[in-house]
Structure 1
Amino acid sequence: MVNFNEFLDKMSVVAEDNNRIDPEYYTKYEVKRGLRNSNGSGVLVGLTEIGEVHGYTIDENEKVPVEGKLYYRGIDVSQIVEGLQKDGRYGFEEVCYLLLFGRLPNKTELQDFVELLGNLRSLPDGFTEDMILKAPSPDIMNKLARSVLASYSYDDNPDDISIKNVLRQSIELIARFPTMVAYGYQAKSHYHDHNSLYIHPPRADLYTAENFLYMIRPDNKYTRLEAELLDLSLILHAEHGGGNNSTFAVHVVTSTGTDTYSAIAAAIGSLKGPKHGGANLRVMGMMEDIKKHVHDWNDDEEIKEYLKKIIKKEAYDRSGLIYGMGHAVYTLSDPRAVLLKKKAAELAAVKNMEDELNLYFKVEELAPKVFAEMKQSSKDISANVDFYSGFVYKMLNLPEPLYTPIFAIARIAGWCAHRIEELVSGQRIIRPAYKSVSGHKPYIPLEQRI
């Protein structure tokens, strides 16, 4: 009998050797690796009216750094947040409405939409027991993807891609994502971590951020400030243009004409990756390592020396990366990080975690200087949203397995908006080119192979 592990040990080497492409070919054929131009900007592959990410300008084919801006349907997110905070209102539902329909709602429209989402939060009959509890997953993102795909079987009209039907599916998914994530986590916590099982029915009278905290906590309790901070995080993660990996995945899969659940499940798979939605977990691990090895959190020189060790691959995970610093588009600042850390300071004061937050401030300040010194580089580097989002979730006493799923709870709004836009305006299957560089070979009869 063939030993599977021995087979894999042998053939994994063969598979790796036969899938390695000479890097010189990428230069020879001017391949846009990662869909990036030579100056670091993204290759233009589509148009969108949903979100705009502005982090630099191009002058004579050179990137010129500017302060970061993020726009939802042409409106500066900073202005949206400022308006909501001035009114003392939760805003994630309003942002969902804006992204889906392309304009801000009036009071009646907003009230109706909030009520609609609240009434749609409960999962279909039998779904929790059959699709979540009977097959618990150690990773909530995989459980969420499975729950989305399973929703196809509970939909009486799953394959209709008319805008009315896709809009119906989108609103249901936006409403149900927090419930799917909360129940997926509770199943994981109970069956894999051997904790008590808490299945709290969602409440229609609460806003999304409130409802999630209510469902995830054994005692259902949360403060107004905690809910406000989670609501802000959901707003800032709801959309980020059409070029980010998970949203582009939605465009690619949608362009085939497939169903909503298949397209959204693909996006979840993309977001799970540590280079995308899972990045804040890497930040948290790095910061815990810094806290352990830097004895004086107020000593700039000690912090700088340890950051140098990280860059020299002598500390933390030896990747040479300072996680949470730098972004593919933003240069001088990430507007999401700016807004999040400002609100986070309020909760840090209440939670008596100001010393730890100040350490984050120190790393944010010193990391670009250390990078410039070590790499002899003039590249502009700033903290991105992942640098602070993990700390925010820690202050909210949310378990780490929920960090990336919370990202998905927010981003489902942007994904659905982009799916609708692709169906309305794309109308052509996305198929970029790959050039074969393998060369042609003769077929060798089985008896003659060594």
Structure 2
Amino acid sequence: MAKEYSAIEPEIKELAVKCKESLAINPELYGKYEVKRGLRDVSGQGVLTGLTEVSEIRSHIMVDRDIVPTEGKLYYQGVDIEEIVQGFIREKRFGFEETVFLLLFGKLPTKEELDTLNHLLSQYRKELPTSFVRDIIMKAPSRDMMNTLARSVLTLYSYDEKADDTSIENVLRQCLQLIALFPLLSVYGYQAYSHYHDGNSLFIHQPVEGLSTAENILHILRPDSKYTELEAKILDLALVLHAEHGGGNNSTFTTHVVTSSGTDTYSAVAASLGSLKGPKHGGANIKVMRMFEDMKDTIKDWEDEEEVRQYLTDILNKKAFDKKGLIYGMGHAVYSISDPRANILKGFVEKLSVEKGFEKEFSLYSMVERLAPEVIASERKIYKGVSANVDFYSGFVYNMLGLPFELYTPIFAIARIAGWSAHRLEELINEGKIIRPAYKAVAKHKNYVPMEER
């Protein structure tokens, strides 16, 4: 295929130039017709397109009709995420599974209800056929695990006798199965890629009943299946914090859009995975990690504030890192003063950095978190505050856990399938209309010209 593309590359380049010329829209027209690009206004506020009870993001209050930024808050089914985390940590329990229950059923589970859910997830993890790993995951492994995950999800359609049944009972069953299987599909996909492309030994560990989702990820990923209690707890915390984030983020909105067409669960989830794969969405923490790698190679003294400040200034002026002018991990479409997920994660990151011997790197992250808003404010015209988002620290966590870059975004998906499932069920239960926003046509009308006259 690469050889075939090489042969036609000049023609493709020429056609691409014509494509760019013909499809480029005058930017002034967006203002003329009051189009909210990205479904956001000039201040970054999202255009209201639906209602949800699954989660709420709060970043401001209204005072005399004015928007006043506040510390960020995140609620899952009305429960403050900070209280959720404090609760399961105080009671020395893993939190992702009860978060799944809360998102799907609108209430915190009793011990019996949580035990039932854990049992269901354990049983569903056993139902991935051996032939599926051999015939699907091991064949033609992709270099991108998100494509591997999407292919696996779409292939599961063929194994489901009720794949097109969109009754709530059946969709709930499908969602729970996908929540259970996402860790296996992701990690096994990586193991196949690592073996066939990088020549590493192939390990396919079976999941262990009774282990949490986070524990099973570490168990099936590592050759010796070993992990510390802190490692499992901080990965569990990361899953909780990534499980859901309102109906307006790109992949969750995709879930609503595709679900509204009446399609099957596997197609809807595959579409959401395609959205999450994008570097502007799920791939952000990889960008943060690579930015810090470049920073550590470029800066001579990691403790020199002026040197770090200059590096950040160079990034904004497109002189450093990828020349895009972005300090990755800083700022959020909704939050301004703070991202509660980043605040929660930071304390545990510090503990893990001590256990893993990454104290110097943690100090650098803390310095950048403090300096970046100052640098951005001095170099950019901004409409709201800028703070570290959850991606700022999550990539650092995964790095300390020894997770490969290839699994960073799939781990996001392992968590977010919980939120997607809740939103898919919400869309189906409320029987909304097919989502079809309007686009204004701005092309000039032209007459058809016969071939010999063109």
Give the distance between the partners of 1:426 and 1:285, measured in 2 at CA: 43
Matched, 1:118 2:122: yes
1:118/1:207 contact within 8 Å kept: no
Report the counterpart of residue 15 of structure 1 in structure 2. 19
Which residue identity is paired with 1:290?
A: M
1:178/1:212 contact within 8 Å kept: yes
Report the counterpart of residue 378 of structure 2 in structure 1. 373
Report the counterpart of residue 206 of structure 1 in structure 2. 211
Q: CA deviation at 1:38?
A: 3.0
Report the counterpart of residue 266 of structure 1 in structure 2. 271
Report the counterpart of residue 95 of structure 1 in structure 2. 99
Q: 1:15 to 1:60 in 2, by over 3 A?
A: farther
1:39/1:63 contact within 8 Å kept: no
Show structure 2 runs of 5+ residues with no match: none
Give the distance between the partners of 2:334 and 2:43, measured in 1 at CA: 12
SS at match of 2:234: helix
2:77/2:107 contact within 8 Å kept: yes
2:43/2:383 contact within 8 Å kept: no
Report the counterpart of residue 63 of structure 1 in structure 2. 67
Report the counterpart of residue 192 of structure 2 in structure 1. 187
Give the distance between the partners of 1:419 and 1:336, measured in 2 at CA: 23
SS at match of 1:18: helix
Give the distance between the partners of 2:89 and 2:159, measured in 1 at CA: 38
Give the distance between the partners of 1:165 and 1:274, measured in 2 at CA: 33
1:372/1:379 contact within 8 Å kept: no
SS at match of 1:126: helix
Report the counterpart of residue 143 of structure 1 in structure 2. 148
Report the counterpart of residue 216 of structure 1 in structure 2. 221
Report the counterpart of residue 324 of structure 1 in structure 2. 329
Q: CA deviation at 1:39?
A: 2.8
2:54/2:423 contact within 8 Å kept: yes
SS at match of 1:67: strand
Identical counterparts, % of pairs: 59
SS at match of 2:314: helix
Q: 1:9 to 1:231 in 2, by over 3 A?
A: same
Give the distance between the partners of 1:377 and 1:116, measured in 2 at CA: 48
SS at match of 1:22: coil
Matched, 1:288 2:293: yes
Q: 1:253 to 1:288 in 2, by over 3 A?
A: same
Matched, 1:418 2:423: yes
Give the distance between the partners of 2:66 and 2:250, measured in 1 at CA: 24
Report the counterpart of residue 310 of structure 2 in structure 1. 305
Give the distance between the partners of 1:339 and 1:292, measured in 2 at CA: 29
Shifted more, 61-70 versus 10-19: the winner is 61-70
Give the distance between the partners of 1:207 and 1:118, measured in 2 at CA: 9
Q: CA deviation at 1:57?
A: 2.8
Q: CA deviation at 1:130?
A: 1.1
Which residue identity is paired with 1:69?
A: K
Show structure 1 runs of 5+ residues with no match: none
1:39/1:62 contact within 8 Å kept: no
Q: 1:213 to 1:435 in 2, by over 3 A?
A: same
Shifted more, 367-376 versus 406-415: the winner is 367-376
Give the distance between the partners of 1:108 and 1:265, measured in 2 at CA: 32
2:182/2:414 contact within 8 Å kept: yes
Question: What do residues 247-306 of structure 1 show as CA deviations (whole Å, max 9, x unaligned)?
Answer: 000000000000000000000000000000000010001111111122222221111111
CA RMSD of aligned residues (A): 1.4
SS at match of 1:437: coil
Give the distance between the partners of 2:233 and 2:99, measured in 1 at CA: 14
TM-score, with normalisation over the residues of structure 1?
A: 0.98
Q: CA deviation at 1:233?
A: 0.1
2:452 pairs with 443, 447, 450, which one? 447
Q: 1:60 to 1:321 in 2, by over 3 A?
A: farther
Report the counterpart of residue 46 of structure 2 in structure 1. 42
Give the distance between the partners of 2:65 and 2:270, measured in 1 at CA: 37
2:43/2:384 contact within 8 Å kept: no
Report the counterpart of residue 393 of structure 2 in structure 1. 388
Report the counterpart of residue 337 of structure 1 in structure 2. 342
Give the distance between the partners of 1:321 and 1:287, measured in 2 at CA: 13
Give the distance between the partners of 2:62 and 2:370, measured in 1 at CA: 26
Question: What do residues 378-413 of structure 1 show as CA deviations (whole Å, max 9, x unaligned)?
Answer: 731000000000000011011111100000000000
Matched, 1:246 2:234: no
Report the counterpart of residue 177 of structure 2 in structure 1. 172
Give the distance between the partners of 1:168 and 1:324, measured in 2 at CA: 36
Aligned pair count reads: 449
2:353/2:400 contact within 8 Å kept: yes
TM-score, with normalisation over the residues of structure 2?
A: 0.97
SS at match of 1:240: coil
Give the distance between the partners of 2:422 and 2:381, measured in 1 at CA: 42
Report the counterpart of residue 90 of structure 2 in structure 1. 86
1:56/1:329 contact within 8 Å kept: no
Q: 1:42 to 1:61 in 2, by over 3 A?
A: farther
